[in-house]
Amino acid sequence: MQAAQRYPLPVGAAILMVISLLFWLIGHVSLANWGFLLVILAGALRLFWQTIRHVLHKEFSVDVIALLAIIGSFLLGQYLAGAVIVLMFSGGEALEAFAVRRARASLAALAQRVPQTAHIWQGEELVSIPADQVEVGMEVVLKPGELAPVDGVVTAGTSSMSEADLTGEPFPVRKAPGMLVLSGSVNLDTILEIRAQKRSTESKYAQIVHLVEEAQHQKAPIHRLADRYSIGFTALAIGLAGLAWVFSGDALYALAVLVVATPCPLILATPIAIMSGIDRAARNGIITKSGASIEQLGEVDIAVFDKTGTLTLGMPKVTAIVRVQPETQYTEALEKTTSTRCAQHALYDEETLLRLAASIEQLSTHILARAVVELAQERGIPLCEADGFEEIFGKGVRGWVPLHRQEEQGTQGKGGQKHEKIEVAVGNRTFMKYLSIAIPPSFLEERQRRVNSGQICSFLAISKQIEGLLVLEDVPRPEISRLSADLHTAGVKETILLTGDNEVVAQKIGKLAHVDRVVARCLPEDKVRIIEELVAQKHGVLMVGDGINDAPALATATVGMALGTQGLTAAATTADTVLLSTDILRVARAVRLGRWVMHVARQGIWVGMGLSVIAMFIAAFGFIPPTVGALLQEAIDAVVILNALRAGRGSLEGRAIQPTTPSEDQKNASFEQPQTRVAHSHLSLEEGHQ
């Protein structure tokens, strides 16, 4: 019943043909012909209006051959042949629609799994509440087998989690305290407690659902690759039919030629292959918003990349802690500007410096503060409670923290008093000046050297003295050394890095990624201009980016691909495709998928055209009657359909490329902090911690 509602013409035609064949078998030929005639009229009327629409849009389609064959069958009384053509043609459209539904179902399955409830503690009782009532900062309990309702950070417990439905990554990820959990990921092992970082409507899963809904509502224009050959093929079919009629004197010869030339194989080859590709892309963590995106992916020959958040992780990490060294020059400088008490140096080990800094930074929401806290959590360093917290946003933070943890020296100091706390400050030069803290010349020189190479620096002061320099950088994705090689193997001729960073930083990341060309200091309009020039030169351009300032370039490129790993941005909304995986090498996989899909589609077209042309010549000599020709065309259809379904299978891996070990250059490479996050656009390399 549901199939009849979705595909009324092919289902109705099939039922009528079965009834008509039964009448024909029992000798009621006239009744059988009436059934076949009804099928012909229904099919011809629909095809006629489709052809009119194509003409009004100034499009030429191979559908005209099918229309001529149906009309010819009606005029010559070959009702069975005409009915078979209608069934074949409408059945092909139904298969195409089914392929579309199946591919989109792979995307819609994500939306159907939206987490509905969350568990929280109310006193000693674990209660369930609607997921949309979870607020930022709430502690959520995640049981084994459940979906995470919100994005959050693990606060207690360790467990393996599956992110396969989010990113396409097949292997579970082990989660421990301090690590990020994405909404929609599945808890596989034991109970976890996570602190919500976003509400459910703003979490990763909600963003993916939004993308899916956007893809579902796209008209998804499928460009019929076969229509590129439609004029020549149609001319050949009509010309051969005319010659067969002239030389034989029998119109049935011409009809037989048109019947076997009915272009269902050509019409089916591309859409079924493309929809199989969309389905496969979804299973690999790649959302394609239209069939045209897959086709265009198969034609790109230049890949253009943004840097921050694309070739790099897009989030600063603490990569070094420079400790103070006793030096006479520093002591003399301090004696001129500060009291003798401040000039007395205390040397702290790296773990102590990190603990003190992170204990203060945990109270800040700044992106650089989060990087400091994450490093302390990764190293398993317990943090302390800070008092007197003060933050000047854009400058730095300070507060009072115990020098030693209470469990190290007892909960009380001498005389029963709590252990004394010391003042800790983390910030840029302006913040240090605001606190009247002198910066040693050696630290100013070290900071300048690192800033020139693209790193971010924050001063760490303890008891009004500079004791360390926190060095942060936007680190490259570990797999980028393979990216260009994988893309070249996939058929891309040139890879280009377009970045707003300075030449030094741009060349470093370009060298690590082995791109063919690097263009530094690019404003958004410069990226658009360069891509427009490439498109004007008839190149198929793939643009990969993730930031808001990448949106114009993504819209200008032949295919725009956004990395959705950092959240739903204007880039993901503008792009033709969205990569949900954190693995940048899947860009090459997407290109190989596009190549494979179009290879299968072209193969189907040429096989279908070749078999049809052979059958046309045989029919022109009268060896194939119209009815047999219609059945023969069904067999050709089956061959093309089976071939098109191959687009959803087969290996997408190119020549094996062994991952390289990070070089010293890569370990020590410096990178500018993200400039594509609107919420943190105030960050400055000149000032470091803001």
Which candidate, 146, 120, 273, places its Cα nearest to that of 603? 273
The answer to whether the beta carbons of residues 483 and 495 sit under 8 Å apart is yes
Distance between CA atoms of 680 and 682, rounded to whole angstroms?
5
C-alpha separations of 268 from 4, 12, 83, 221 in Å: 21, 21, 19, 14
Structure tokens given for 637: 């259809």
The answer to whether the beta carbons of residues 43 and 13 sit under 8 Å apart is yes
Long-range CB pairs of 164-168 (<8 Å, 24+ gap) are 165/109, 165/110, 165/113, 166/204, 166/205, 166/208, 166/285, 166/580, 167/285, 167/565, 167/580, 167/581, 167/582, 167/583, 168/283, 168/284, 168/285, 168/286, 168/580, 168/581, 168/586
Amino acid identity of residue 121, one-letter, is W
Long-range CB pairs of 450-454 (<8 Å, 24+ gap) are 450/670, 451/685, 451/686, 451/688, 452/504, 453/504, 453/505, 453/508, 453/670, 454/501, 454/502, 454/504, 454/505, 454/508, 454/670, 454/671, 454/672, 454/685
Which residues are paired to 156 by β-bridges? 193
Q: One of 306, 486, 550, 576 is an active-site residue; which one?
A: 306
405 Cβ partners below 8 Å, 6+ apart? 355, 382, 384
The answer to whether the beta carbons of residues 314 and 456 sit under 8 Å apart is no
The SS3 call for residue 11 is helix
DSSP code for 62:
T
The residue to which tokens 């250059």 are assigned: 665
Which candidate, 318, 337, 387, 394, places its Cα nearest to that of 359? 387
* Strand segments (E) across 306-385: 312-323
Residue 349 appears among annotated catalytic residues? no
The answer to whether the beta carbons of residues 176 and 154 sit under 8 Å apart is yes
C-alpha separations of 343 from 339, 427, 437, 466 in Å: 7, 20, 11, 10
What sign has the CA pseudo-torsion 146, 152, 158, 159? Answer: positive
The SS3 call for residue 476 is strand
Distance between CA atoms of 659 and 334, rounded to whole angstroms?
50
- Our measurement of the distance from residue 165's CA atom to the centroid of its chain's CA atoms, rounded to an integer in Å, reads 13
Amino acid identity of residue 303, one-letter, is A
Which candidate, 237, 335, 86, 183, places its Cα nearest to that of 613? 237
* 240, 241, 247, 252: CA torsion to nearest 10: 150
- Active-site amino acid positions: 306
